[in-house]
Amino acid sequence: MKKIDFRKLSIIIIFLFLTKKVISQNNGYYTSYLNAKKESEKVKVLDVTDEVIDDSLYSFINLKELRLIECKIDSIKNDIINLSNLEIVSIRTSQLKFISDNLSSLKKIKKIQITGSQLELLNLNLEPLKKLRVLDFSNNKISNFKLSLPNSIEYISLFGNNMNYIPNELFDICSLKTLNLEFNKIKFISPKINKLVNLQKLFLGKNNLSSLPNEIYSLDKMNEFKINNNNLEKIQGKIYKMKSLKLLNLSKNPLKKIPPLDGLKKTGLKKIIIRNTDINDKQLQTLKKELKDTEVIF
């Protein structure tokens, strides 16, 4: 068997890596901020990790995608207005504290994802961004919320913040399909939630909810409904209105009774998770027996 020449192999690997890097940069894809600054007008995608981001960022006038992971950047400044071709903003850093309202001038933006930062207040006018589909401010410290939003948004995540209410602005986005508000401090859901007529996924786990409004059951396009880890004592019979429901998670609530069987049977439920409640074993066994086409986990 012929011996492997590891020296030659390592040279080939390095060559291929450098070739790929050159090709990527020729296509406008940069993984080095230092290299990107040297050819600012060629940069279309900036995808960097753990680098210091200075104001040179705002000279990348042809930039379409901005992806920063654990980079040192404490604000999105007014000069963001220069990046008129930007379509995707994805920033994951623990240092960001401020976002300029000039973000609203970037009419091509489709996705804004700013997670794991120090944001406490969201005060932005994003209504002009008619192409915006995804808005993700997960794992910040947001407790106050003042946003003007376009009706084009289909996905919103405010997972892992300090919110104790659902802002009314969210209820006006009738195109919304997914709303993730898990790991907050929400105590109350407005009846206005029934305005979200296209909502398919609603995640409310790990909050402080003790009741649900009747109006929530009118969301007949909902297929995933997670309300685990709350203070709910009952689920009303009107759940039968959720005709598209496939997944229901009720775990870790002080429920005394199983949800009405007649209502559950009228949904398209495929899986119900109902662990760690105050429901006795007899009721749970009945639930499993009656819902023959549903996976019951308790």
Secondary structure (H, E, C), the chain? CCCCCHHHHHHHHHHHHHHHHHHHHHCCEECCHHHHHHCHHHCCEEEEECCECCHHHHHCCCCCEEEEECCECCEECHHHHHCCCCCEEEEECCCCCEECHHHHHCCCCCEEEEECCCCCEEEEECCCCCCCCEEECCCCCCCEEEEECCCCCCEEECCCCCCCCCCHHHHHCCCCCEEECCCCCCCCCCHHHHHCCCCCEEECCCCCCCCCCHHHHHCCCCCEEECCCCCCCCCCHHHHHCCCCCEEECCCCCCCCCCCHHHHHCCCCCEEECCCCCCCHHHHHHHHHHCCCCEEEC
Q: How far is CA 176 from the centre of its chain?
A: 12
Q: What is the mean pLDDT of residues 114-136?
A: 96
pLDDT of residue 142: 96
Q: What is the mean pLDDT of residues 223-238?
A: 94
pLDDT of residue 7: 66
**In b/e form, how buried is each residue of 59-86, taking b as 16+ CB within 10 angstroms?**
ebeebbbbbbeebebeebbeebebbebb
240-271: pLDDT as tens digits: 999 999 999 999 999 999 999 999 999 999 99
196-215: pLDDT as tens digits: 999 999 999 999 999 999 99
CA angle 239, 166, 111 (to 5 degrees): 100
Q: How far apart are CA 70 and CA 51, in angstroms?
A: 8
What global pTM score does this model have? Answer: 0.90
Q: By mean pLDDT, which of 7-16, 45-54, 64-73 is the weakest?
A: 7-16
Q: How far apart are CA 241 and CA 209, in angstroms?
A: 21
* Fold classified for 8-297: 3.80.10
pLDDT of residue 236: 82
Q: Copy the structure tokens of residue 49.
A: 């990790």
Q: What is the mean pLDDT of residues 81-94?
A: 97
Structure confidence at residue 237 as a pLDDT band (50, 70, 90): confident
What value does the mean pLDDT of the chain take?
A: 93
252 and 229 in contact (C-beta within 8 Å)? yes
Q: Which residues contact 94 (CB under 8 A, 6 or more apart)?
A: 70, 116, 117, 118
